[in-house]
Amino acid sequence: MSTPSTTTATWPDRYAASMMGTFAPPLALLVRGEGCYAWDDEGTEYLDFLAGIAVNSLGHAHPDLVATVTEQMSTLAHVSNYFASEPQLDLAERLQRLAGAGAEGRVYFCNSGTEANEAAFKLARLNVVGGTRPRILTLVDSFHGRTMGALALTGKPAMQAPFDPMPGGVEHIDSTIEALEAAVDDTVSAFVLEPIKGEAGVLPLPDGYLRRARELCTQHGVLLILDEIQTGVARTGEWFAFQHEGVQPDAVTLAKGLGGGLPIGALVTFGAASALFQRGQHGSTFGGNPLVTAAANTVLAVIERDDLVANAARRGEQLREIIAGLGSPLIDGVRGRGLLLGVALHEPVARELAASALAAGLIVNAPNDSTIRLAPPLIVGDAEIAEFGRRFGQALATL
Ligand SMILES: *Cc1c(COP(=O)(O)O)cnc(C)c1O
């Protein structure tokens, strides 16, 4: 148990005096959660429609997840990759199946999204089919993580600038089919992209984009690597967003919603890409330990048992209707898919609106100045959707 603090300082002061200044000051001190709700230290209730940024797939304190983690922690939590464990094997097999990677597919476990993309970056470097391939393509405005390789993939020069030089060879292209056709050739090792750019403001790709990317990548021996860290694990109303498009990538990166709150990331490969990494070329001390893989197994098993893939699709439609029904002149429309939605605003007031929402007891966020992102738990039901409508309507009325 942690020792209660004896200081009289307020939590914001303690935060400022102890935490590295990498984040904006936190919005509240949360102490407890249950289902789609969380509470702060003053007892204020929040409807959580951000879910820790698409992480808490089963909401807060889901009884099955609590039971699994408690049981696994008291049985076997960590063993290192010198040893195998049942939860790890179960999860690898489950991901092979759900991603449609089949017997040729392989899974590599790590601890976060950025690490999954580091693995993808190294996978790209190993693709030397037909000679050296110095170029890696990603999209302008994309987000792939904060470590150096993932930061190099990220299409936001302002985030990179203080940390230059970046690992070499990465080119950012516009999200148009023309730019794609102009960029892909035999000198490219991999094309890394998000099926929906989440951090950029829940921006979908043009119609037919992924299918054209698949054709061109196949034609030129380029690995098509999808960053489904935000879109994966049922979030968009399919297990993985690429399944809406009927394409098969060469690799997918996962994290966020996979562990239901426990830190886990994964790289899943398909076909020949599964044979690129050789023994000793990559690794992680914590990656795939029994505790986090047991948790992820339960997350995926509950999603299957309770048909939360279909729930995500259905609730997403319901949310769009509720938002349209609010009839707010501020709202321009809703982008995204399933339970990853971006409410587009006519004015650049998304940050003010997110603050008003919080004051109305609703957690959402503003990935950019004119978009509110919604990523509620996949378990969301009628009651929470109706409550969202009331609280969001209240917040809109204040602007
Ligand atoms: C969140 C996110 C990442 C980074 O994940 P971390 O776990 O924060 O390292 C990478 N790519 C996408 C698309 C993300 O949404």
Average pLDDT of every residue of the chain: 97
Q: How many other C-beta atoms can be found within 10 angstroms of the C-beta atom of residue 338?
A: 26
Q: What is the pLDDT of residue 8?
A: 86
How does pLDDT run across 338-383, given as a tens digit for each residue? 999 999 999 999 999 999 999 999 999 999 999 999 999 999 999 9
Domains of the chain: 12-62+307-396 (3.90.1150.10), 66-305 (3.40.640.10)
Cβ atoms of residues 67 and 73 within 8 Å:
no
What is the distance between the alpha carbons of residues 74 and 86, in angstroms, rounded to a whole number?
15
113 lines ligand 1 (CB under 6 A): yes
Distance 239 CA to ligand 1 centre (A): 17
CA distances from residue 390 to 349, 371, 396 in whole angstroms, order as listed: 20, 19, 10
Q: Which atom of ligand 1 sits closest to the CA of residue 228?
A: 13
Task: Give the pLDDT of residue 3.
Answer: 64
Distance separating alpha carbons of residues 224 and 191, to the nearest angstrom: 5
CB-based contacts of 146, cutoff 8 Å, min separation 6: 114
Cβ count near 64 (within 10 Å): 16
Distance 376 CA to ligand 1 centre (A): 17
- The residue whose CA is least distant from atom 11 of ligand 1 is 144
Nearest-10 Cα torsion for 42, 48, 50, 51? 100
Ligand 1 center–CA 113 separation, angstroms: 4
Q: What is the DSSP letter of 205?
A: P
Note the pLDDT tens digit of each residue in 282-321: 999 999 999 999 999 999 999 999 999 999 999 999 999 9
Task: Report pLDDT for 169.
Answer: 98
In ligand 1, which atom is closest to the CA atom of 197?
13
227 Cβ below 6 A of ligand 1: yes
Tokens describing residue 305? 């048992």
pLDDT at 394: 98
Instruction: Ligand 1 pocket test: pick from 144, 197, 254, 267 the residue with the most ligand atoms within 8 Å of its Cβ.
Output: 144
Q: Is 230 in the pocket of ligand 1 (CB under 6 A)?
A: yes
C-alpha–C-alpha distance, residues 37 and 48, integer Å: 5
Query: What is the Å distance from ligand 1's center to 4 Cα?
Result: 33
Are 337 and 236 contacting, i.e. CB atoms less than 8 angstroms apart? yes
Question: Which amino acid, one-letter code, is at 177?
Answer: I
pLDDT digits (tens, 9 = 90+) for 95-111: 999 999 999 999 999 99
Query: How high is the pLDDT of residue 35?
Result: 98
> Do you find a cis peptide bond into 165, omega within 30 degrees of 0?
yes
Q: In the prediction, which pLDDT does 7 show?
A: 73
pLDDT score recorded for residue 76: 98
Residues of the chain scoring pLDDT < 50: none
Give the separation between CA 16 and CA 100, rounded to whole angstroms.
46
| pTM for the full predicted model | 0.97
Which of 154, 156, 230 to mutate to test ligand 1, by most ligand atoms within 8 A of the CB atom?
230
